[in-house]
């Protein structure tokens, strides 16, 4: 028998759906605006005519400029490199650390867990962190001169993700591990054959967290890497383009503005927006396939029974 919905519950649902719709629109609108501005004319952008759809003369010159820019795609490949290897590196040793911390037989387990959580309460600060990263750069000079490996190796720690994995591993029934050990499984086999398959949702969620943080990473990549353009990730390339074109965007240098206007029929802001669209396409393409694990993974790893 279908239960009759009470008035208070109906009001709550209406209010909840209203705020969810408003929040969703707030999240989607920046993407709509960026996409519209990338196809809009320079006059429409400068006059503020772009709201929901392209304004003025529709043009795709900004995307053509980006897609034919070889250096942009070199930087794009750098971002893919850092994201892939950084995610694999961070996820790999996070799984190992979380597996060890989930074991009650670990000597000093409570102390190690306390030190892990303590890093979330109090950090050393930006300057010591920068010095630590630069020390990593110096130590890697004898192995490789590619500074992308510095971003991969030095920035892989995240206490929150390790805690999520640890809590997920603690939720695996001990009887299953005991059965695997009776069958002769080694420690690594228990991890790879029991714990990892039973924690796929949390691992996928943590991999998503690591991947997005590496893909969107700008600050430390800008500070640690050198000034050679071929070594930059795409986020640093976008920021450098905006910084170099500030005089055009704000109209501070009339000569530079005139040179750009004579060379191109589109605004430099459109190029920046086109770069942003190209930069977020991989995340938009991958996220729907991982989204189904997201809520389940956070619930499994974020709640300790």
Question: What pLDDT, in 10s, does the model give residues 285-297?
Answer: 887 777 766 655 5
CA atoms within 13 A on the CB side of 136: 19
Q: Which residue has the tokens 């070889």?
A: 70
Question: In terms of residue numbers, what domain contains 135?
Answer: 80-239
Whether 217 is covered by a domain: the verdict is yes
Whether 62 is covered by a domain: the verdict is no
Whether 95 is covered by a domain: the verdict is yes
Whether 21 is covered by a domain: the verdict is no
What average pLDDT is seen over the chain? 79
Band of residue 23 on the pLDDT scale cut at 50, 70, 90: very high
Whether 222 is covered by a domain: the verdict is yes
Query: To the nearest whole percent, how much of the chain has pLDDT over 90?
Result: 4
Check whether 5 has a pLDDT greater than 70: no
Whether 156 is covered by a domain: the verdict is yes
In terms of Cβ atoms closer than 10 Å to its own Cβ (0-12, 13-18, 19+), residue 208 is buried
34: which 2 tokens?
A: 């960026």
Dist CA 18 CA 139 (whole Å): 54
The answer to whether 251 and 257 have CB atoms below 8 angstroms apart is yes
CATH number of residue 139's parent domain: 1.10.3720.10
Query: To the nearest whole percent, how much of the chain has pLDDT over 70?
Result: 82
Check whether 26 has a pLDDT greater than 80: yes
Whether 31 is covered by a domain: the verdict is no
280: which 2 tokens?
A: 């977020």
Whether 271 is covered by a domain: the verdict is no
Lowest-pLDDT choice from 45-54, 64-73, 229-238: 45-54
Domain count, the chain: 1
Check whether 22 has a pLDDT greater than 90: yes
Please list the alpha-helical segments (H only) found in the chain: 7-38, 42-46, 61-67, 70-101, 109-121, 126-140, 148-154, 159-170, 174-182, 187-190, 196-198, 200-216, 219-224, 234-244, 246-249, 254-263, 268-302
Dist CA 262 CA 248 (whole Å): 13
204: which 2 tokens?
A: 């996928």
Per-residue model confidence as pLDDT tens digits over 225-258: 766 777 788 888 888 887 777 655 555 555 555 5
Check whether 150 has a pLDDT greater than 70: yes
The answer to whether 199 and 169 have CB atoms below 8 angstroms apart is yes
């Amino acid at each position: 028998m279908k239960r009759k919905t009470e008035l208070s519950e109906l009001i709550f649902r209406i209010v909840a759906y209203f705020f969810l719709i408003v929040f969703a629109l707030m999240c989607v609108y920046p993407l709509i605006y960026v996409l519209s501005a990338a196809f809009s004319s320079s006059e429409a952008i400068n006059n503020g005519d772009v709201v929901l759809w392209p304004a003025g003369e529709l043009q795709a010159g900004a995307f053509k400029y980006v897609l034919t820019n070889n250096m942009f795609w070199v930087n794009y490949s750098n971002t893919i490199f850092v994201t892939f290897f950084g995610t694999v590196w961070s996820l790999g040793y996070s799984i190992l650390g979380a597996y060890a911390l989930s074991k009650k037989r670990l000597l000093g387990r409570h102390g190690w867990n306390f030190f892990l959580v303590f890093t979330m309460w109090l950090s050393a600060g930006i300057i010591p962190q920068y010095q630590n990263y630069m020390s990593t750069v110096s130590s890697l000079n004898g192995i490789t001169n590619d500074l992308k490996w510095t971003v991969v190796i030095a920035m892989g720690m995240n206490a929150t993700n390790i805690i999520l994995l640890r809590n997920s591993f603690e939720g695996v029934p001990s009887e299953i591990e005991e059965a695997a050990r009776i069958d002769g499984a080694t420690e690594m086999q228990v991890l790879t054959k029991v714990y990892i398959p039973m924690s796929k949702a949390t691992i996928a969620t943590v991999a998503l967290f690591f991947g997005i943080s590496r893909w969107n990473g700008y600050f430390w990549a800008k500070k640690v890497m050198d000034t050679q353009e071929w070594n930059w990730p795409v986020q640093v390339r976008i920021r450098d383009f905006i910084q170099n074109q500030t005089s055009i965007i704000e109209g501070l240098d009339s000569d530079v503005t005139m040179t750009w206007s004579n060379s191109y029929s589109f605004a430099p802001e459109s190029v920046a927006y086109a770069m942003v669209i190209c930069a977020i396409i991989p995340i938009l393409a991958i996220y729907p396939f991982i989204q189904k694990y997201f809520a389940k993974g956070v619930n499994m790893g974020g709640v300790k029974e």
